[in-house]
């Protein structure tokens, strides 16, 4: 077992143990709780469901002080949760933020962080998003947690668990750029201004319009690529109870990225999804068919006549 696989297994075990403590608390308004990108609540009558998600950025886990620009961190703090809403096909509507501020982060650094988060809420896809609360506290390490609540028509959320044998597997955009950007950002040499890989890492955009378009197709399953294609493909395969077969030669590579980088690069915030063979992919997005769905389990790499299992290669939170 790789360190990444061990970390992911530890994370999933912790989540399962927490959920078990609440297993006796049933609520008629919960359409879907854990196990997907968002929880789905049916609390707005028969017209709309709510999507709930949260994510965090933690000092020395998700960023390095002095290397990551604070405005970029603020943007990413919101985008991480917006990407979950995108993966379910929803529209973000409300958000809350909780910030733990060490002494070094107060003042200008935190102001720039907040400005970056606010700028991430610009544009037509997030024009209805409002900040409705949160909390601020002092502490020894900077942590920002952002929760986002989204909306969509009742019963239409895209889930991880709907892929079927025979479906085609797609991914949006290109892969590998975020990890290249991170390596350049953390290197001894200051990256060139306007470096596209650094911009890819620091200025991600959630695929909200694509998520809603996929909901209308509809896609059979979807997940956002936040922890690396290899890791998130494994989650989609597990939730759907199927095997995903990926053709490495078909992967859309960011300029300068290798196949391995494309498989393990986290924080890409692209969408990985499956469509029935007769379905037509949305025309106004950059999409690549990278494989297909079969009976079985796990994720497999198919090159010519050779097939091998693909383990978890992306980001682990432990």
314: in domain: no
CA distance 115 to 73: 10
54: in domain: yes
Per-residue model confidence (pLDDT) at position 314 = 59
- The residue range of the domain holding 86 is 29-153
Among 104, 135, 153, where does a domain finish?
Answer: 153
316: in domain: no
- Residue 218: cis peptide before it, omega within 30 degrees of 0: yes
Do both 168 and 279 map to the same domain?
yes
Structure tokens at 240: 């759907």
Per-residue model confidence (pLDDT) at position 2 = 58
**CA-wise closest residue to 52 among 184, 191, 147:** 147
Do both 149 and 164 map to the same domain?
no
At 304 the three-state DSSP class reads: coil
**CA-wise closest residue to 32 among 46, 48, 49:** 49
Among 84, 118, 153, where does a domain finish?
Answer: 153
Domain count within the chain: 2
What are the strands of the beta sheet with 39-44, ordered from one edge? 30-32, 39-44, 48-58, 143-153, 91-101, 130-138
Do both 79 and 142 map to the same domain?
yes
Do both 169 and 294 map to the same domain?
yes
Q: What CATH code is carried by the domain that includes residue 46? A: 3.30.1330.10
At 294 the three-state DSSP class reads: strand
**CA-wise closest residue to 266 among 317, 235, 225:** 225
Beta bridge partners of 95: 131, 148
Do both 58 and 141 map to the same domain?
yes
Q: What CATH code is carried by the domain that includes residue 193? A: 3.90.650.10
Beta bridge partners of 135: 98
Do both 172 and 297 map to the same domain?
yes
Contact in structure between 222 and 272 (CB atoms under 8 Å): yes
Residue 115 has phi, psi (to 5 degrees) of: -65, -40
Do both 207 and 285 map to the same domain?
yes
6: in domain: no
Do both 210 and 256 map to the same domain?
yes
Structure tokens at 280: 């037509």
13: in domain: no
Do both 178 and 124 map to the same domain?
no
Do both 95 and 166 map to the same domain?
no
CA–CA–CA angle 270, 218, 251 (5° rounding): 35
The distance in angstroms from the start CA to the end CA of the chain is 14
Residue found by looking up tokens 């890819």 in the block = 200
CA–CA–CA angle 209, 83, 121 (5° rounding): 75
Contact in structure between 153 and 47 (CB atoms under 8 Å): yes
- Residue-wise pLDDT tens digits, 179-217: 999 999 999 888 888 999 999 999 999 999 999 999 999
How long is the chain?
Answer: 318
Q: At what angle do helices 70-88 and 108-119 cross, to 10 degrees?
A: 30
41: in domain: yes
Among 153, 170, 202, where does a domain finish?
Answer: 153
Intervals of the chain under pLDDT 50 = 317-318
């Amino acid at each position: 077992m790789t360190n990444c696989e061990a970390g992911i297994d530890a994370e999933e075990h912790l989540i399962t143990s927490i959920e078990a403590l609440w297993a006796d608390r049933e609520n008629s308004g919960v359409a879907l709780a854990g196990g997907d990108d968002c929880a789905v609540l049916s609390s707005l009558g028969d017209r709309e469901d709510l999507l709930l998600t949260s994510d965090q950025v933690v000092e020395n886990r998700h960023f390095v002080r002095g290397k990551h620009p604070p405005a970029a961190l603020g943007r990413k703090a919101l985008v991480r949760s917006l990407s979950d809403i995108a993966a379910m096909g929803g529209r973000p509507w409300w958000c809350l933020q909780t910030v733990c501020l060490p002494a070094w982060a107060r003042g200008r650094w935190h102001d720039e962080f907040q400005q970056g988060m606010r700028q991430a809420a610009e544009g037509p896809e997030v024009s209805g998003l409002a900040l409705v609360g949160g909390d601020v506290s002092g502490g020894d390490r900077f942590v920002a947690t952002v929760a986002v609540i989204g909306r969509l028509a009742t019963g239409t959320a895209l889930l991880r668990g709907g892929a079927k044998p025979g479906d085609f597997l797609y991914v949006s955009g290109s892969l590998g750029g975020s990890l290249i950007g991170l390596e350049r950002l953390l290197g001894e040499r200051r990256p060139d201004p306007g470096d596209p890989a650094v911009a890819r890492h620091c200025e991600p955009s959630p695929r909200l319009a694509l998520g809603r378009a996929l909901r209308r197709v509809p896609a059979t399953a979807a997940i956002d690529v936040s922890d690396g294609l290899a890791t998130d493909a494994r989650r989609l395969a597990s939730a759907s109870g199927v095997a995903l077969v990926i053709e490495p030669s078909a992967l859309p590579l960011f300029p300068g990225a290798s196949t391995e980088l494309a498989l393990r690069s986290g924080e890409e915030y692209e969408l990985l999804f499956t469509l029935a063979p007769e379905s037509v992919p949305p025309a106004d997005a950059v999409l690549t068919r990278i494989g297909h769905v079969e009976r079985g389990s796990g994720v497999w790499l198919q090159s010519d006549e050779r097939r091998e299992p693909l383990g978890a290669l992306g980001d682990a939170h432990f």
